């Protein structure tokens, strides 16, 4: 996966873990939504440029496994 996409994946995983610990952090929830929107837009571009497979779907659990590798 491209480097910029991987860094966004890593941020999303870290932010999800933060939200699990700090359930009252509404600001983090909105930032996670913004970050996931950015990931989806970037994935759309990379699919069009054929740098990511066409059938790849953003799934937080899958992303967590990808980042851990």
Contact predicate 15/32, CB 8 Å: yes
pLDDT at 22: 96
pTM here is 0.91
pLDDT, position 14: 97
pLDDT digits 0-9 by tens, 4-43: 999 999 999 999 999 999 999 999 999 999 999 999 999 9
Phi, psi (rounded to 5 degrees) for 9: -60, -45
What local confidence, expressed as pLDDT, does residue 69 receive? 73
Q: How far is CA 7 from CA 14, 24, 27, 51, 68, in A?
A: 11, 25, 20, 16, 12
Could you tell me the two tokens for 64? 């967590």
Distance CA 19, CA 27 (A): 10
Q: What is the pLDDT of residues 36-64, one digit of tens each?
A: 999 999 999 999 999 999 999 999 999 99
């Amino acid at each position: 996966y491209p480097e910029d996409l991987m860094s966004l994946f890593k941020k999303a995983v870290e932010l999800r873990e933060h939200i699990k610990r700090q359930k009252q952090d509404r600001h983090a929830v909105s930032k996670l939504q913004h970050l996931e929107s950015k990931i989806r837009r970037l994935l759309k571009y990379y699919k069009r440029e054929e740098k990511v497979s066409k059938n790849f779907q953003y799934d937080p659990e899958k992303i967590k496994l990808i980042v851990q590798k």
